[in-house]
Each structure stands twice: as C-alpha cells, then as structure tokens.
Amino acid sequence: MSSIALPQHSSDNGLSYGANVGRAFRTLLAALLAVQPAKEASPATKLRDRLALFRLARDYEALSPNLAAELRFIASRG
C-alpha cells in the first residue's frame, strides 16, 4: 500500500473549488504517469511458475478435481 503526502501551504486557503479540483487532477495524473511498467518475466521464471501450478493441481486432484482442472488450464495458457 502506498500513500501520498501533499504539503499544505498557507497561500492555498483562498483557492476556489475549481482550482482545488484542478490541482487534485494534476497530482493524480502525475502519480499515474510516474509508475514504472512491470518487467517481463524471464522464460525460466515462467516455466517455474507453470510447473508450480501443475504440482498444485496434482495436490488437489483427490480433494477437488474441478479446481485441479482449472489450475492445469491456467498453467497451460502460459
């Protein structure tokens, strides 16, 4: 979870509603554009995750066959 701390200046007291909404929108837009895109997972990591899903499906086969089938389907999608 992240939080944003915005400094309050004494000169901000006389601003109109429109100015406050505009400042909030600019701050939100700046926060959205500052986020870095996620890195692509390496092929080894993808294979490890797929194998882990297949192992998990094998563990749930006797308990819940439908869940095991869903896990195998998710793993097969890659």
What does the domain layout of the chain look like in residue ranges? 43-77
| pLDDT at residue 41, as a whole number | 81
| pLDDT at residue 6, as a whole number | 63
Q: Which residues of the chain, if any, have pLDDT below 50?
A: none
CA atoms within 13 Å, Cβ hemisphere of 32: 6
| pLDDT at residue 33, as a whole number | 86
17 burial (CB, 10 Å; 0-12 / 13-18 / 19+) is exposed
User: The whole model's pTM is what?
Assistant: 0.49
